[in-house]
Each structure stands twice: as C-alpha cells, then as structure tokens.
Structure 1
Amino acid sequence: MKKIGVFFGGRSAEHEVSVITGMQIIENIDKTKYEVVPIYVSKEGKWLTGSSLLDFKNYKDGKFKDTKEIILSPNYEDNNVYAHPEIVGLFGKKIIDKIDIALPAFHGMNGEDGTVQGIFELMDIPYVGCGVLGSSVGMDKVLMKDVYKANNLPIVDYTWFYRSKWLKDKELVINQVEKKLSYPMFVKPANLGSSIGITKAKDRDGLILAIEIAIKYDRKIIIEKAVENLREINCAVMGFDEEVITSLCEEPIGWEEILTFEDKYVKSNEKGGKVSGERRIIPADIDEEIRVEIEELAKKAFITIDGRGVSRIDFLLDQNNKVFINEINTLPGSIAFYLWEGKNYSFTKLIDELINIAIKVHKEKKDNIYSYEANLLNRTSFGSKIK
C-alpha cells in the first residue's frame, strides 16, 4: 500500500480554501490502495502531522490533540518525515517512514507557486501537479500573460508595476496606466487567487482605491482592461506533456462584475462542505464551436507552461463571443472534481489518475542524466595563477 502525503494549509490568504481541498482529497482518496498521511502547514508556518488532522471539525475549533511539529529532509531520496529538531534534539527523530507520493493541496503563495514543489524535487519524490516552473509561472499573472502573449494565445490588454513604484510616485503610475488602458479596469495582486484583493475601477478615484487594496497583498500589481458584459467559462485539463484531455466546461452564475471569494467558496460551500452545483452550469450553455475553441485553448494554455496533473483554465467570453484566457489555476480548488464527474471521473478516480500521472512524470525524470564525468577538479589548479 503506497503512503500518500497530503499537504495543505500554508502561509497564504487562501489558507482555509486549501484546508477544504485537503480534507476533500483525504475524504475521497481510495483507502484500500493508499495510506494517507495528513501534513498541515499552519497559518504561522508550522508543519504538523497527526491523526486529529483527519477530522475536519478540528479545524473549526482549532483543537488538535496529537499533532507533532515536523520537518521534511531535502536530502536526495530521503522521503521521511522527521520531528522538528528543536523538539527532539539535533538529529531529529523519524515520525513517518518514506512517503511514496506527495499530493499538495495548497492554494496561493508558499505552496501553489513552486516553492513546495522545489522541496519535492530535491527529495526526488513523485508529486501531483505542476512542476516548479509551471507552478511559478501559473501563479504570477504577469509572467503567465507574458508567456501566453508570446505564444499568440488570446488575452486582454494589461499593464503592471511594483508596489515600490506606486509608493514613490503615485501620479506617474496612474498616468502610465491611463495611457495604456481605458476604463473600466480590473486591479489585481499578481500572485494571489480566489479573487482576493481584486477590484474593478471605473474611474481614477476607483483606480487609486483598487491599487491601495491590491498592494496590501502583493508587491507586484497587474491591471487589466475589463471585458464588458462578459461570461466566465472555465475548463480543466488533465495529463502530462501533450497527452492531455479536457473536462466539461462550466459557467459560474449569480455574480455581478467580479466573481468574489464569497461567490466562489462561501455561498457554494455553505451546504454540506462541498462545492455545490447550484451556482454553476455544467456543462456550460455555449455553442459547439465556442466549446471546441475553449477546449483547444485550454490544452494550449496548459501545455505552454509545462502543465502536469490537473489545472483549471478560466476564460472570458465577450458579447461578440470572442474568447480570452483569463488565467490558469495550476492547483484548482477541490482539484476541480466537479468538472470531471460528467466525464465519468468520480472524485476517487480523479485522485487515482493524478497519482498515476505523478508516478509517470517521476519515472520520465529518471531518464535524464544528472552527472557528467569530466575529471575537471583534478585538471584544475585552484587558486594558482593561470598564465
């Protein structure tokens, strides 16, 4: 039986969304095939494990009876979980023997952005989802749009700046933004999801307010031309390399101008803790040619950033049925299970397939050569003068 480490929580504004995703994965994973090891990162950044982390109600009252503070070793092929050395001494103590596969369920910074994926790469452990580069590009909306623009994928007009530039000369920033874009605009933190910190600006006063909100969440701000009278259509992609498939398309409903954090999670989760279908139409009511276009663009968006596992790509559809890629979510909430149910993937089957993809990616990585014998050290006189 393979031991699966499910990682969730984290130092992120999307901490609670990650907990929900982690709990849903733990609830739905095939326990006849996998032994689940919950690894929870608190809002303070402490890494914890213990059986009480398997019970969702404990997160509501914050009472965990048996958790142990842990660390992961970055040593190659050391897939053990150790007690924190400050607790048990210099050399630590193994808490869990050899996690076979890591399944991250983080959202936002310090988890979805490639940081944790880098640890898994150093450990040489198979892990579900995008790699370091795909995760980081998918997280940074500016780099993501730069990459898509370079690959001729349709995106809305945008501009960006650093927080330091705003604090130094606000008038200059506003003038530059207004020169590049017309109102209305969307102002967003570049490295955040779940619609946190996003505001629509309809005039200069609104732009100033929106920027002041966004800079509280990130040092990098992106501003996009708003698509008026838009429909949002989302589609998930699963696979590795160019062997990818698409899910059904969805259309979120019951929102105005901005699909807020509350729209995405509070209203859709208030019944039973699972994402409800009541606030989304699946499959989306769109023309066949639009559906085909969106599915093909979703595949290209996924492949372009070297996507792995499952990602959800969010699209904007204007009143003339012109399609724009809004963003890619390399680690979508609830791993977008609701988009796959209509394609005969239960939540359990979806998790199983993602684990299989992780194993396939890891095996292919083993085909690479990681050393080159040149005897360079013995042929180099270090410190001597070269004539």
Structure 2
Amino acid sequence: MKHLYLHEDHQIFREALRKFLEKEAYPFYEQWEEDRLIPRSFWEKMGGQGFLCPDIDEVYGGSGTDWGFSVVIIEELERIGSGTVGIGLHNDIVVPYLTSYGTDEQKQRWLPKCTTGEIISAIAMTEPGTGSDLANIKTTAVLNGDHFILNGQKTFITNGIHSDLIIVACKTDPQAVPSYKGISLLVVERNAPGFSRGRKLNKVGLYCQDTAELIFEDCIVPKENLLGEEGKGFSYLMEKLQQERLVVAIAAQVAAEEMLSMTINYVKSREAFGKAVSKFQNTQFKIAEMATEIEMGRAFLDQLIASHISGQEIVTKVSMAKYKLTEMAKEVAAECMQLHGGYGYMEEYKIARRYRDIPVASIYAGTNEIMKTIIAKNLGL
C-alpha cells in the first residue's frame, strides 16, 4: 500500500538503501548472528552513505530530512533481521535527545560523528532492580567541583558493547519529592574514568545486537556533559518515549509482513498428501486471518507515523500501536512456524530466527502491560 507520509524522494532513498544493504548486509547477516555482533565497519559504511541520522541538521553533518527517511531506514533494516535494532535506537531514540536538549557546543562535539558512525550511542535507563519504574532508579550523580561523580549499574543496554556515548539516567537529587524530580541525564563518553562494561548478555534472540551491563564506579563525568537542565531528566524521557515506542511498532509491523511473505512462499512450494500445503483450507484460513490483521495494522501505523511527522501528540494511540502490533507479530510468528511444520524449527529457515527475535518487542520500550496502563489512564480510567 502507498504510505501516507512518503513521496518520490523517499522512494528514491529506499531504492538506494536497498542496493546498499543487498551488498553490505544481507550476505553477512548470518555471520553477524554467529559472531553475536554487527561489526563497527558496517556502521561506518552506513554513515558514509548518509544512512545514519539523516534528519540531523546539515550544520551538524546530517541531511536535514523529515522523519519519513528514518522510517524507511527502520523498515529496510528490519527486513534484514531484528538484530539491526541498535541502529534504529542510535538514529531515532538516542540522538534525538542530543538534538532536542543538547547545547550548541554539545551538538557540535558529538552529532557530526554520530552521522558518520564514528560515535555509536546508547541510552541507559534500566537497572538490575528497576525496569519500567524509572522514578525509582538507584544510580546517583553527585556534583563535585567541575564534574559529577556517577555511581550505579545499568543492564539490558542496547549497543552496550559498541557504544561510545551513553545517555545515563541518574539521580542528581536523591531526596527530591516526588522522586522523579531528582532525575537528570548525563552523557558518559567511552573513556570516562570509572566507567566499565560488564557482561555481554546472552539473549534468547537478537543474537547480533550487542546488549550489555554498564558499570559506573566513582565515574567522573564533566559537568558540561549534563544534558538539558538538572532535575528535568524524567520529563525528557517521557517526551521522547512516543517516538521510541513508534519505532518498536514499525519494526514489529515489518517483521509480521516479512513472516507472512516467507510463509506464503513456503506453503505454495511445500507438498503434503499430493498437493501444495497452500491448497488446504486450514492453511488458507490461517493465512487470510494473518493477512487481515497485518493489513489493518499497517493502515493504523501509517496514520500514526503521518501524525507524528506533523508534530501531533499521539501518546495514547502510539501506546495502542506498540501493544497491539508487537502482540500481533508474536501471534504471526507462532502461526507461521506452525505452517512451516518441522522445518520451521530448523535454523536454516528464517522463521525460526523471527520466532526467537520478536517476543522481546513486547517487553522493551515499556512493557505491553505499561502500554495498557497508559491507555487506560488516558481514557479517563
């Protein structure tokens, strides 16, 4: 279907990106999965072709595009595999904090290298004892002269191994009432004294996406690395969650579309009892049900993306999309694996990887239970 927010320039951009990925990503993705890491060289190639942070202002090395170009990148990377999620996180979740809340000096210092792939970014919110309850994080930062002393531990951090620049949510005022008013955002650079990386985490899926623990032990962070105003961190996080959850919804939708496409191809070619599996009524009904859910999901999602690009606040609907589309993608994964039969459980069939990769989408960026809480609250309940 024709996307509401895309024009000819976006289509030309998509074709260029696809050609790049066919050469630089598709042939190597299985190796990246085995290595449990996407090489930095791929990031640098992405940057060299203008596929990192295209919406950054030209003065900072970007192309100044509308967010539709970023959506194209999210979609095409997801078609390769969900393990590319860290690039979307860099482009559309972390870097927007710098563009929105950074000083001009901070932008000049960091953004140009974010567009080239020299700097890979991450955001550190989740802690071993704190997930969705951000107001009660335990990581602290105490101002001492011209620097903050940061102490705490973060976990499940996407791009945790590669990251050169990490936005860390921390308490600069642990006594604040309510507690969320004590949260600030500090930007920690790769070589900061007292910063180390813990385990590279071994996940059920998303093998090539590096995820790690981060440790801050009397970590020295220059006060110039405070992002925005002290004590405003929680409100900044809330403001940016609309786009973050929309990114997750887009990836889930594309994953579902890809799983349906590969399954249709499979059932047409696979024979049982003397005829193609696609000729059985059960197969036809399952495919028809999934195709309908996916088509409805795409219509809703495209409307939301267009509204987001136009600057509308659509937190409730984005929460609906994040919840519904990630749940739909999980259901599609299960049905598509079933339609593949025993072969669906074999690693050489891509549905096996999709089946592993998709469940976490209902957990990160706020669990689907949190999404339902937001929806209910905003409906006046």
TM-score (norm 2): 0.27
Larger gyration radius, structure 1 or structure 2? 1
As a proportion of its length, which structure holds more helix? 2
